Amino acid sequence: MDLPPVGLGTMGIDDERVVRTAIDAGYRHLDTAQIYDNEAVVGAGIDAAAVDRSDLLVATKLWVDSLGPSAVRPGTAASLDRLGLDAVDLLYVHRPRGDYDPEETLPAIEAVREDGLARHVGVSNFEPEQLAAAREYVDIAAHQVEFHPLYWREDLLADARANGYPLVAYSPLAGGRVFDEPVIRDIAERRDASPAAVSIAWVTSYEPVVTIPKASSRAHLEANLAAAELELADAEIERIEGIDREEELFPE
């Protein structure tokens, strides 16, 4: 999929005006999920925005209780009803657990795609062996994973590159922890930029990685969009790569 460098992550957003403002500010990739309990909010923001639906890329994720073969279609239909859409552009398996079984879940999702309820199929929080198994049943359009200066997986990046799909990085600011990281702060000061901008620029410096930071105010929304235009030097990228990695914020 051809995804913009920065999209909107909506976990925790409960005000449709934020979604509408993001679209007005230039966001075209909107990411939600059943477990966020805000698909209706995202749908209302889309409906209120002065942008054609065809110009937006809307993604949602099936939670673990919607992954059984008989639950995929009604789960997808319920998400579409909350979003107020006929189809989503990208339908993810949120996590490969619960009722997930690649031999049953993925053919059911592929059938939903073939019937026009979703245009592409993605996966999220998968391990390399799970990605390989999934490829037997669907064309993986995107893989959404935690990816930020304090936690990232080179093996998942390598799989995305080898198999030609984008890696969608969530939590690019590590839940705010990057603001206290000395290396990030030093580069930000030298660049007259914010630590958030440096972190987003670092994440999007990797091909084929895009990111979906969350923001609520128009100022932060616009700043996150602009951050992808900040080009870090190779030495700066290497300094950030050298930061001691912590455990992931959202483990399986």
Catalytic, 36? Answer yes
pLDDT tens profile 117-174: 999 999 999 999 999 999 999 999 999 999 999 999 999 999 999 999 999 999 999 9
Question: Residue 56, SS3?
Answer: coil
Q: How far is CA 17 from CA 42, 45, 139, 150, in A?
A: 9, 6, 34, 31
pLDDT value at 31 more than 90: yes
Report the alpha-carbon distance of residue 5 to residue 95 in Å, rounded.
Answer: 23
pLDDT value at 202 more than 90: yes
pLDDT at 112: 98
Using alpha carbons, select from 126, 176, 173, 180 the residue that is nearest to residue 148: 173
pLDDT value at 248 more than 90: no
Q: How far is CA 16 from CA 88, 220, 229, in A?
A: 18, 16, 27
pLDDT at 156: 98
pLDDT at 251: 83
State pTM to two decimals: 0.97
pLDDT at 245: 85
Distance of CA 62 to the CA centre of its chain: 14
Report the alpha-carbon distance of residue 9 to residue 45 in Å, rounded.
Answer: 14
Instruction: Give the model's confidence band at 28: pLDDT under 50 very low, under 70 low, under 90 confident, else very high.
Output: very high
pLDDT value at 246 more than 90: no
Question: What average pLDDT score do residues 233-249 get?
Answer: 92
pLDDT value at 11 more than 90: yes
Across the chain, what does the average pLDDT equal? Answer: 97
Question: What average pLDDT score do residues 97-123 get?
Answer: 98
User: Do residues 109 and 78 touch, judged by C-beta distance below 8 A?
Assistant: no
The dihedral through the CA atoms of 6, 150, 162, 58 has a sign that is: negative
pLDDT tens profile 62-102: 999 999 999 999 999 999 999 999 999 999 999 999 999 99
Question: Residue 219, SS3?
Answer: helix
Question: What average pLDDT score do residues 24-34 get?
Answer: 98
User: Do residues 62 and 72 touch, judged by C-beta distance below 8 A?
Assistant: yes
Could you give phi then psi for residue 239, rounded to 5 degrees? -60, -45
Task: Give me the domains of the chain, ranges plus CATH numbers.
Answer: 8-241 (3.20.20.100)
Percent of the chain with pLDDT over 90: 97
Q: Which of 36, 151, 165, 170 is catalytic?
A: 36
Report the alpha-carbon distance of residue 140 to residue 134 in Å, rounded.
Answer: 8
